[in-house]
Each structure stands twice: as C-alpha cells, then as structure tokens.
C-alpha cells in the first residue's frame, strides 16, 4: 500500500537569537520530515533580547544563507498552546534539540504534557557535539558585553548583533 501523507513537524523555541545548534537541528529535522515549521514562541520565563518578528526574520535569513531545503517554513505563535498550532496545521510531531541530560530533564515533562493534551509526539534530535555548549542565553550575554558571537550563531545573526545600533552611534 502506498501512503501519500506528508509528515509535518514543528520545531518550537524562543530562538532569541537562533544559534548554530538550532540551525543544525532544523537541518536534521528537514532530512527526516516532509515539512518543517520553525515556530518562534514567546517564553514568559525568559527576558527577551529581540522582538519576535526580528527573530523570525533572522531565522529565515539564516536558513536562506545556509541553503537549507525550502520545505522549511518560519512563523510565530503567541495565542494558546503549542499543540493548538500543531493541530491547526496538521503537524503530528514536535522536534527538540538535546545537548545534555539537563535538556532531557527540561524537555521531558513538556513532551509528556504535549502528548497528553493532543497526542503530539516529541522527537529529540542530537545536534553535532561542536554545538553542545551553545545556547541563546550565552550568546545574549556575550553580545551584551561586546564579545564575538560569530562562532555560535549563523553569519547573518553575527552581523546583525554586531552592527552598531542607532542609540550607540
Ligand atoms: O527555546 P525555549 O525557550 O526552551 O522554548 C520553550 C518553548 C517555547 C518551546 C516552551 O516554552 C513552550 O512549549 N511554550 C508553549 C506553551 C505551551 O504550550 N505550554 C504547555 C505545554 S508544555
């Protein structure tokens, strides 16, 4: 029997900003699923650096710059549960990157709740070990203190974060 049903997976996160580790997970997910929705979600537990729309733009530019497949769509979600977005677009899977056992401990309760709420499964993907220490919060800190973030973020994000802002001119 031939099934022609496309598998849509959602890669959610704060992406404030997107890192090389995120991009690695997005690329791996695109190699597994037919369609990927990279979903920028506001996390009320974190102090934001960039507005949501700016994060979406930087992700789109990073994906274009890295020449990732055009099966990847980037958008944001601010109303209701993450699983509501999945149900609305017909996605059955969430994809999360796992760098360490700390991430497993953080992600596991959310994965179980998302499955309880709507039957959405979570797939954990391992980024390349060279990205295991990279996080958006570390990037925010290095950028705020004037350090070089280029090793940790896609080139377009490094250029954006290191460009002088109007108020600094
Ligand atoms: O990149 P982050 O900040 O670790 O991403 C966390 C995020 C945005 C994926 C998480 O906060 C989330 O899933 N928010 C959606 C709210 C929701 O649906 N909560 C209930 C089930 S966990």
131 tagged catalytic: no
Residue 125 pLDDT class (50, 70, 90 cuts) = very high
- Residue of 10, 12, 127 with the most ligand 1 atoms within 8 Å of its CB, for mutation: 12
46 tagged catalytic: yes
- Range name among 2-6, 90-94, 164-168 with the lowest pLDDT average: 164-168
**Given 7, 46, 128, 137, the catalytic residue:** 46
Q: Does ligand 1 come within 6 angstroms of the Cβ of 18?
A: no
**For residues 15-27, average pLDDT:** 98
Q: Which helix (H) or strand (E) holds 35?
A: strand 35-41
**Given 14, 20, 22, 131, the catalytic residue:** 22
Residue 129 pLDDT class (50, 70, 90 cuts) = very high
Predicted confidence at residue 79, as pLDDT, reads: 87
pLDDT over threshold 50, residue 35 = yes
**For residues 19-33, average pLDDT:** 98
pLDDT over threshold 90, residue 44 = no
Residue 64 pLDDT class (50, 70, 90 cuts) = very high
42 tagged catalytic: no
Predicted confidence at residue 169, as pLDDT, reads: 41
Q: Does ligand 1 come within 6 angstroms of the Cβ of 100?
A: no
Report how far residue 17's alpha carbon sits from residue 36's, in angstroms, rounded to the nearest whole number.
Answer: 19
Nearest to 62 by CA among 92, 38, 43: 38
Residue 164 pLDDT class (50, 70, 90 cuts) = confident
Structure tokens at 70: 């055009």
Q: Are 82 and 73 in contact (CB under 8 A)?
A: no
- Range name among 36-40, 82-86, 148-152, 159-163 with the lowest pLDDT average: 159-163
Q: Give residue 141 CA to ligand 1 midpoint distance, Å.
A: 22
pTM for the structure as a whole: 0.95
Predicted confidence at residue 167, as pLDDT, reads: 53
Predicted confidence at residue 166, as pLDDT, reads: 54
78 tagged catalytic: no
Q: Give residue 45 CA to ligand 1 midpoint distance, Å.
A: 10
Nearest to 21 by CA among 124, 126, 100: 126
Tell me the pLDDT of the chain averaged across its residues: 94
**Given 28, 42, 71, 99, the catalytic residue:** 99
Q: Which atom of ligand 1 is nearest to the CA of 44?
A: 11
pLDDT over threshold 80, residue 131 = yes
Query: What is the DSSP code string of 37-61?
Result: EEEEE--TTS--SS-HHHHHHHHHH
Structure tokens at 113: 């709740």
Predicted confidence at residue 5, as pLDDT, reads: 80
């Amino acid at each position: 029997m031939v099934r022609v049903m496309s598998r849509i997976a959602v890669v959610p996160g704060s992406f404030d900003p997107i890192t090389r580790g995120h991009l690695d997970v997005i690329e791996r997910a695109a190699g597994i699923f037919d369609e990927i929705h990279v979903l920028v979600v506001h996390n009320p537990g974190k102090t934001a650096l960039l507005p949501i729309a700016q994060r979406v733009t930087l992700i789109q530019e990073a994906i274009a710059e890295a020449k990732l497949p055009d099966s990847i769509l980037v958008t944001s979600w601010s109303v209701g549960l993450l699983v509501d977005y999945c149900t609305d677009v017909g996605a059955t899977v969430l994809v999360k990157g796992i760098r360490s056992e700390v991430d497993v401990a953080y992600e596991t309760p959310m994965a179980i709740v998302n499955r309880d709420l709507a039957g959405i499964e979570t797939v954990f993907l391992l980024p390349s070990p060279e990205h295991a220490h990279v996080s958006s919060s570390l990037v925010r800190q290095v950028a705020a203190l004037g350090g070089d973030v280029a090793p940790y973020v896609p080139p377009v994000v490094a250029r954006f974060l290191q460009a002088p802002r109007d108020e600094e001119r």
